[in-house]
Chains A and B, each alone.
Chain A
Amino acid sequence: MQQDAIPISSILSLLTGDGGNFLGIILLSLQVTITAVTCAGLVGLPLGAGLALVRFPGRTVIIVLVNTMMGFPPVVAGLAIFLLLSRSGPLGDLGLLFTPKAMMIAQFVLVLPIIVALTRQTIEDLWTEYQDHMTSLGAGRLRSIPTLLWDARFSLVTTLLAGLGRASAEVGAILIVGGNIAGFTRTMTTSIALETSKGDLPLAMALGVVLMSLTLVINSLAFGISRVGARFSGKS
């Protein structure tokens, strides 16, 4: 196989021929990433808002920690989760290593700090604007959290997208905890790593193009929704 051009034909044959397998990889990638980001959102949005509003000793330390964790090396996270989930590790009895769930956990751990940190920033900014009004209505900081999350929804979509970006581009951690098992834990990114190691660079590149297209579609959709919504609710 020749390797110079970016292979439109291999992309097409990927999508049409041998379809079930490839479709399975895409679906698994989406399932893992979306589940991880959804869970990270469910946990991270309230947590980030809480961190923005609630004062407690050690808060600044935690903020700095969370901000640092945004750049947590995925392989380190992967290794830590690997050691936890291994049969010889503390959570070995769950039998989660080398399963899609393990990959979801790894991505959750990687995405959570991003969502918490960005949410904290967004909510803190919005709070300076809303504080007087909310206090005047008798709503304390805690009771203001749902209001702030809802009113920051369009910025928070961007936050979730940042998390989605990190999750869908990630390979180091899920390779370690998922094992890249064909048909079970093989995702877009681990396939790309595998095809590269097989020296099939055109196929790896084709997979990369598909992954980027998918990411583009998801981002465009989310951006479109949030743009329309933002115009609707008058955020200039």
Chain B
Amino acid sequence: MRDTTSMLPLIVRDLRLEMDGRTLLDVPFARIQNRQRNVILGPNGAGKSLFLKTCHGLIPPTSGRIEYTLPVSATEVRRKQAMVFQKPVMLRRSVRANFTHALAMAGVGWYERRRIADETMAQFGLSGLADSPARVLSGGEQQRLAIARAASLGPDLLFLDEPTSSLDPTASRQIEDMLDVLHERGVTLVLTTHDLGLARRFADVIFFFHNGRLIEESDAERFFTQPETEEAKAFLEHRLFW
């Protein structure tokens, strides 16, 4: 079901990122499909976070291109995507103000901001925390706030960098529920994780990174049953033996 109004799929071509003479990313080709749940796997330091940031436009690549299907302006691209960081940034303000600030930056008007903020908080069970300072929230609450805040911007494409790391099972579950809601809403999700359980339950497509290179991009089903590369095999086995 091809959505003709979406700027997706996003296509990455010949992407290279070099810093201090090191090649940190080398992705000849990658395609992020509309409305799919894309999960990026790989060991620590494989380049997962850098890949997300580069796709999101925070880091300019050394060479290569990131293309959208529709010819869209840079501002529009920015408006239609959002990102949740590995260490969520909490403004030194109340939870509600964290929402209204993000919405204000996105150009949403004064009353509309408060309405959307309250609505989103209600949706994701954050209403009770609305007036708490964001920085005293627990790690799980902060993660939920970060995701809900990104969701309140109404993006078509949402990047999430390890949204469940260092959370207990219940909190992880809550995050997963949030992701399901967003998926059902039609948001295209790209996330990294070290939680293979989450990846199995959640992923439509797996991207496997190793040493900065994208070495496998396949259907989740196939990736977990018959991984193509030795590296992916080893990665999965180590994990499974845990």
Q: In the complex, A153 Cα to B97 Cα: how many Å?
A: 15
Instruction: Give the distance in Å from the alpha carbon of A63 to the alpha carbon of B152 in the complex.
Output: 39
Least CB separation from B153: chain A residue: A137
- Judging by beta carbons under 8 Å apart, are B92 and A137 in contact? no
A130 to B94, CA, bound (A): 16
Name the interface residues of A117-160: CB closer than 8 Å to any CB of B.
Answer: 129-130, 132-139, 143, 147, 150-154
A132-B58, A234-B135 known; A138 vs B78 contact (CB < 8 Å): yes
Which secondary structure dominates where chain B touches chain A? mixed
A151 to B58, CA, bound (A): 22
| B31 on the A face (CB < 8 A) | no
DSSP majority for the A interface? helix
Q: Which residues of chain B in 74-106 are interfacial with respect to chain A, using CB atoms and an 8 Å cutoff?
A: 75, 78-79, 82-83, 85, 89-94, 101-102, 105-106
Within the complex, which residue of B53, B78, B105, B135 is in contact with A233, where a contact is CB–CB below 8 Å?
Answer: B135
B83, B93, B105, B153 pick with most chain A CB within 10 angstroms: B105
Asked if B154 lies at the interface with its beta carbon under 8 angstroms from chain A, I say: no
In the complex the two chains form, what is the Cα distance from A135 to B102 in whole Å? 11
A9 at interface (Cβ–Cβ under 8 A)? no
A233-B131 Cα distance, complex, nearest whole Å: 10
> A134 CA to B79 CA in the complex, in Å?
13
Is A232's beta carbon under 8 Å from chain B?
yes
**Nearest residue in B to A154 (C-beta to C-beta)?**
B92
Is A236 among interface residues, defined by CB-CB distance under 8 A?
Answer: yes
Residue A235, interface by CB 8 Å: yes
B82–A136 contact, CB under 8 A?
A: yes
Contact with A along B191-220 (1 / 0, CB 8 A): 000000000000000000000000000000
* Known A138-B75, A138-B78: A133·B89 in contact at CB below 8 Å: yes
Residues of A in contact with B (beta carbons under 8 Å apart): 129-130, 132-139, 143, 147, 150-154, 232-236
